[in-house]
């Protein structure tokens, strides 16, 4: 990581890939350091101090929070209010975010605060950057946010850790935040008026998770395309289904791209007569149409996610230049909710597609001469071997769960907090759902990939088999290093888990 170009958090527009480089510890995070930037950040906090001197009324600074905005907070209690905010929100439950997701959350919050419209000190941004630099990761429960007023409860764990409270992950161990501050020679921050609110009243958790989900979906698209090409070879399908002229007649760009990738994998240069069926079944013939919807949607999803990532999304917005406090609702995560609900649907369709392809592969009625369940056993033991039978059952279960999970979260808004938060986004639940759908679909992809490779191996045993196209041959050889042919039955859990590791590490380079 030390040799990587740093990701600068400041006025520069960040892409999903920038945040991922930080979240995955492939690049260091640095705060923009010029004097003009630091002065612009400082002006927000200075303007708030001016208003306090004039006894101005500022939501969350001189008032209570949420429905309690009608409750005035006297000036002698203003300094205590931020601690109360992160303290009473310390009620998250569920699993803890993993290290990668936690870094994504810290990076997303840092980017939002660098707009200078949140009324925080530059020292707060410095400390957030230092948390990323030294990998001090607050332990954040993933459940408890309705997505407006932002990710209050999970982000309270960030605010508390900055103040030296609660626990963090540091150098592989769970430690108290206070201990880690002492070890690093830091003084815990005493959060000033508006700072706890600025940290918590935003969309950093759902946005950080959305960035992770986007990257996984982008790779899954390419992997599912490669799996389809392997299955065309294994099933001796009709390559004319991917003809360039055919897709020119219905020119959705992503659909055309998927068909082009398959043509590239199959090394199609001239029309080739089908060996078995004039028209393959839909899970093969219509793969570009299914995967093309995901391909065409990624651009819109990127726009939604990156706009949110590069926004000031707390409340109130502090306009120090014009000396105004703007009360609004930028903590509402509707765009992320829509993006993640959409992604769940798109990804579930990929799971369903690959599950159907695997069902064709294992069924001797439809696989054009391959052994039942793709077993490689010789005749003497064929009757007691079952190859990929159970893998296909498991794949069906994973696909079914991904399909069940496609119910949109955003339509389940709940009125909360004395009906102040009476319409909420559910964006964080949608993002968590999307990651779960991706996990399930990656499991489907792992199973189908290993099975497709087995099918290619079995097909090559035939004396009438066509030579493998170079891209398919290369992938077949690469997979063979980790996943040898299944001849006699063996438990495949370990190989499936290894394949999942390879998928999540984006191990195989897939298309330019």
User: Does the pLDDT value for residue 276 go beyond 80?
Assistant: no
pLDDT digits (tens, 9 = 90+) for 331-345: 999 999 999 999 999
**Please, are residues 205 and 155 in contact by the beta-carbon 8 Å criterion?**
yes
Compute the average pLDDT of residues 130-144: 98
Of 96-110, 124-138, 184-198, the range with the lowest mean pLDDT is 184-198
312: left (phi over 0), alpha (psi -120 to 50) or beta: beta
Supply angle C-alpha 201, 299, 293, rounded to 5: 115
Give the active site residues.
59
Compute the average pLDDT of residues 66-83: 73
Of 249-258, 262-271, 301-310, the range with the lowest mean pLDDT is 262-271
**63 φ, ψ (degrees, to nearest 5):** -135, 165
105 Cβ contact partners less than 8 Å away, ≥ 6 residues apart = 97, 140, 154, 155, 158, 204, 205, 208, 209
Tabulate helix, strand, coil % of the chain (nearest 5). Answer: 55, 5, 35
Give the three-state DSSP class for 480. Answer: helix
3-class secondary structure for 251-290? Answer: CCHHHHHHHHHHHHHHCCCCCCCCCCCCCCCHHHHCHHHH
CA distance 294 to 217: 8
CA distance 136 to 186: 12
Residue 174: pLDDT band by 50, 70, 90 thresholds?
very high
User: Does the pLDDT value for residue 195 go beyond 90?
Assistant: yes
Q: Which fold has domain 7-202?
A: Fumarase C; Chain B, domain 1 (1.10.275)
Mean pLDDT taken over the chain: 94
pLDDT digits (tens, 9 = 90+) for 336-383: 999 999 999 999 999 999 999 999 999 999 999 999 999 999 999 999
CA distance 242 to 287: 9
CB crowding 48-69: b at 16 or more within 10 Å, else e: beebbeeeeebbbbbbbbbeee
Q: How far is CA 192 from CA 49, 56, 81, 273, in A?
A: 10, 16, 9, 73
CA distance 155 to 202: 8
Give the three-state DSSP class for 364. Answer: coil
Q: How far is CA 237 from CA 228, 233, 283, 459, 467, in A?
A: 10, 6, 11, 12, 14
- Structure-token pair, residue 28: 């260091």
Looking at residue 75, the DSSP 8-state letter turns out to be G
Look at strands 317-319 and 173-176 and give their pairing: unpaired
User: Does the pLDDT value for residue 1 go beyond 60?
Assistant: no
Tell the burial category of 492 from Cβ atoms under 10 Å away from its Cβ (0-12, 13-18, 19+): buried
Type and span of the H or E element at 169: strand 167-170
**Please, are residues 371 and 486 in contact by the beta-carbon 8 Å criterion?**
no
Tracing tokens 């958090």 back to the chain, one arrives at: 9
- What are the boundaries of each domain within the chain? 7-202, 210-504
pLDDT digits (tens, 9 = 90+) for 448-497: 999 999 999 999 998 778 889 999 999 999 999 999 999 999 999 999 99
Residue 287: pLDDT band by 50, 70, 90 thresholds?
very high
According to the model, what pLDDT value does residue 69 have?
A: 63
According to the model, what pLDDT value does residue 2 have?
A: 58
Type and span of the H or E element at 429: helix 427-460
Compute the average pLDDT of residues 6-24: 98
CA distance 214 to 216: 5
- Structure-token pair, residue 497: 């888990």
18 Cβ contact partners less than 8 Å away, ≥ 6 residues apart = 7, 27
| CATH 1.20.200.10 matches 210-504 | yes
Tell the burial category of 185 from Cβ atoms under 10 Å away from its Cβ (0-12, 13-18, 19+): exposed
According to the model, what pLDDT value does residue 270 have?
A: 58
User: Does the pLDDT value for residue 65 go beyond 90?
Assistant: no
73 Cβ contact partners less than 8 Å away, ≥ 6 residues apart = 61, 62, 63, 64, 81
Question: How many percent of the chain have pLDDT more than 70?
Answer: 95
According to the model, what pLDDT value does residue 125 have?
A: 98
According to the model, what pLDDT value does residue 423 have?
A: 87
CA distance 113 to 9: 9
CA distance 428 to 208: 10
List, in sequence order, the alpha helices (H) in 117-185.
Answer: 122-134, 152-162, 177-184
Q: Which of 9, 21, 15, 108 is nearest to 302 (CA)?
A: 15
Look at strands 7-9 and 29-31 and give their pairing: parallel
User: Does the pLDDT value for residue 224 go beyond 80?
Assistant: yes
User: Does the pLDDT value for residue 415 go beyond 60?
Assistant: yes
Question: How many percent of the chain have pLDDT more than 90?
Answer: 84
């Amino acid at each position: 990581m030390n040799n990587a170009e740093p990701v600068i958090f400041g006025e520069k527009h960040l892409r999903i890939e920038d945040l991922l480089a930080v979240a995955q510890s492939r690049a260091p995070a640095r705060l923009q350091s010029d004097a003009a930037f630091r002065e612009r950040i400082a002006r927000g906090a200075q303007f708030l101090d001016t208003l306090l001197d004039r006894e101005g009324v500022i939501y969350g600074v001189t008032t209570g929070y949420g429905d309690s905005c009608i409750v005035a907070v006297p000036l002698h209690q203003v300094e205590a209010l931020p601690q109360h905010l992160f303290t009473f929100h310390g009620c998250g439950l569920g699993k803890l975010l993993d290290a990668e997701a936690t870094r994504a959350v810290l990076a997303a919050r840092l980017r939002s605060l660098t707009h200078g419209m949140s009324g925080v000190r530059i020292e707060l941004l410095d400390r957030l950057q230092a948390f990323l630099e030294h990998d001090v990761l607050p332990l954040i429960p993933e459940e408890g946010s309705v997505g407006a007023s932002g990710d209050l409860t999970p982000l309270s764990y960030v605010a508390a850790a900055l103040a030296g409270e609660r626990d963090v992950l540091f150098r592989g161990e769970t430690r108290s935040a206070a201990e880690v501050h002492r070890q690093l020679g830091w003084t815990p921050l005493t959060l000033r008026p508006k700072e706890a609110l600025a940290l918590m009243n935003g969309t950093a958790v759902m946005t950080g998770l959305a960035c992770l989900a986007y990257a996984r979906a982008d790779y899954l698209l390419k992997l599912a395309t490669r799996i389809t090409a392997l299955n065309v070879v294994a099933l001796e399908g009709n390559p004319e289904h991917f003809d360039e002229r055919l897709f020119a007649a219905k020119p959705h760009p992503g659909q055309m791209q998927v068909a082009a990738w398959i043509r590239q994998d199959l090394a199609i240069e001239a029309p080739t007569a089908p060996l078995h069926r004039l028209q393959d079944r839909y899970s093969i013939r219509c793969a570009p149409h299914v995967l093309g919807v995901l391909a065409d949607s990624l651009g819109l999803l990127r726009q939604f996610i990156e706009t949110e990532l590069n926004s000031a999304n707390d409340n109130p917005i502090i306009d120090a230049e014009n000396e105004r406090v703007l009360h609004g609702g930028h903590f509402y995560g509707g765009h992320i909710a829509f993006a993640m609900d959409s992604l769940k649907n798109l990804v579930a369709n990929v799971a369903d597609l690959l599950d159907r392809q695997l069902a064709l592969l294992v069924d001797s009625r439809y696989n054009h001469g391959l052994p039942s369940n793709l077993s490689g056993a010789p005749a003497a033991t064929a009757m007691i071997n079952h190859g990929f039978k159970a893998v296909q059952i498991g794949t069906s279960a994973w696909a079914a769960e991904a399909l069940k999970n496609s119910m949109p979260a955003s339509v389940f808004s709940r009125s909360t907090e004395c009906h102040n938060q009476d319409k909420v986004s559910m964006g964080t639940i949608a993002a968590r759902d999307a990651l779960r759908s991706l996990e399930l679909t990656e499991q489907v992809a792992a199973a189908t990939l290993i099975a497709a490779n087995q099918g290619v191996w079995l097909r090559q045993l035939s004396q009438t088999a066509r030579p493998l196209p170079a891209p398919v041959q290369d992938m077949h050889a690469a997979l063979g290093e980790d996943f040898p042919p299944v001849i006699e039955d063996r438990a495949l859990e370990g190989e499936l888990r290894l394949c999942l590791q390879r998928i999540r590490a984006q191990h195989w380079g897939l298309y330019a």
